[in-house]
Amino acid sequence: LRAYELQRQGFDTVEANEKLGFKADLRDYGIGAQMLVDLGVKKMKLMTNNPKKMIGLEGYGLKIVEQVSIEVEPNEHNIGYLQCKQLKMGHLLNFDFTKKEC
């Protein structure tokens, strides 16, 4: 909640987390990967724009056979967030942001 408050004050998602002493992305895919393995999943199509998510799951022995992008149309409410995800976190978005707002 504190990170969301900082974002409301103008910090982007990465800056807000770092200002609070956290990494930009704290997610760990181990538990989810273990659950998938227990269910017998060995390979999958993964809906994500986050290459670290693919690497994280593959690190637990799951095979990503296809990455399916999640397409979101930029608008005045989400453009800064999408730019930050693309420019600072390496998300695979099909946008060419000419004005850097992140």
The whole-model pTM stands at 0.76
Task: pLDDT band for 98, please (50, 70, 90 cuts).
Answer: low
Residue 4 CA to residue 24 CA, distance in Å, equals: 13
Give the HSE-up count for residue 11: Cα atoms under 13 Å, Cβ half-sphere: 15
Task: pLDDT band for 101, please (50, 70, 90 cuts).
Answer: low
pLDDT of 19 > 90? The answer is: yes
- The catalytic position among 25, 28, 38, 96 is 25
- The catalytic position among 12, 27, 28, 96 is 27
Give the pLDDT confidence of 32-57 residue by residue, as tens digits.
999 999 999 999 999 999 999 999 99
Catalytic residue status for 27: yes
**CATH T-level fold of 2-73:** Rossmann fold (3.40.50)
Please report the pLDDT score of residue 100 as a whole number.
Answer: 59
Give the pLDDT confidence of 53-73 residue by residue, as tens digits.
999 999 999 999 999 999 888
Residue-range domain boundaries for the chain: 2-73
Cβ neighbors of 8 (< 8 A, separation 6 or more) are: none
Cβ neighbors of 91 (< 8 A, separation 6 or more) are: 49, 50, 51, 85
